[in-house]
Amino acid sequence: MQIVRTLAQLRQVLDDLNSKGASLGFVPTMGALHAGHLALVEEARAQTGVVICSIFVNPLQFNRAEDLAHYPRHEEEDLALLQPTGVDLVFMPEVGDLFGGGWKPSVYDLGGLDTVLEGAWRPGHFQGVAQVVGRLLDLIPCTDLFMGLKDYQQCLVVQRLLDTRKGRQAVLHRRPTVRDAMGLALSSRNLLLSAEDLERARGIARTWRWMKEALAAPPSGAVPPSPSALLSPSALIEGGLHRLEQEGLRPEYLSLVRDGTLDPWSGPADDGLPRALFAGWLGSVRLIDNELLAP
Ligand code: AMP
């Protein structure tokens, strides 16, 4: 496993790796790695000849300075976790190197995918994501890109970015969310939660179960009260929000979209499947999660 910190070193190592002529898998991360990240690396290992993982806390995608300042950084542990995965190269650039040396931000038309849901609550976030992914793809000519559905909207934004880039296009592999035994989606931000808040965070998974059950067989006496009303998206959202609040979370949004899009899911008659998207707070930590509610 080679560890590369500068662009100059990266170019050199890539020349060697490219000469092998193998497919090149790339897993971009912000570090504080957990089993969700490692599942992406393992999938890349299984599907491509050479695997590169980047660790870079991208300041451009943080819309709150405090969030950036507190974002967990565990370089030594990350490298120890990556070592046994068989990843070929870990790229860990400095901000000034990646976004320096005459680099200029591009203007990305993300087709409005960047201004709703997460984009509405975190203005500029997805433009920041697009800048870093675009920059990394310019440097790392991968054939395959591996990302997690934990960041569902990010997957759609990155696919859009790939579609609009000139030249050979990398294939985006969207991998399922890795959860703990209680259903909590693994996240670097979970490291910032107290034991009590971790338990509250598991209320998100309990809410997913509740919403699935409500869709399959509307329970009587639940909130909202009428079983037939429960099947309407707005009533399901209302019930889900109520549940999340009972669990001690402060939701920013709970939305139902047609899976594969950000379009609203219109109810059981919709020809698409419902995917629920959530963002909310526990103390000063903001969490996101999403789940396909179909069986
Ligand atoms: P991050 O380090 O949070 O920027 O995440 C890097 C990549 O790992 C992104 O593609 C995320 O969607 C993915 N990821 C984060 N958490 C999980 C998880 N629990 N399961 C699967 N993938 C994840």
91-143: pLDDT as tens digits: 999 999 999 989 999 989 999 999 999 999 999 999 999 999 999 999 999 99
**CA–CA separation, 151 vs 177, rounded Å?**
9
Q: What are phi and psi of 133, to 5 degrees?
A: -65, -45
Residue 216 confidence (pLDDT): 83
The Å distance, Cα 137 to ligand 1 centre, comes to 18
How large is the average pLDDT for residues 222-232? 56
**CA–CA separation, 97 vs 4, rounded Å?**
12
The Å distance, Cα 35 to ligand 1 centre, comes to 9
Is residue 51 within 8 A of residue 88, CB to CB? The reply is: yes
Atom of ligand 1 nearest to the CA of 40: 22
* Closest protein CA for atom 10 of ligand 1: 147
195-208: pLDDT as tens digits: 999 999 999 999 99
| pLDDT class of 268 with cuts at 50, 70, 90 | confident
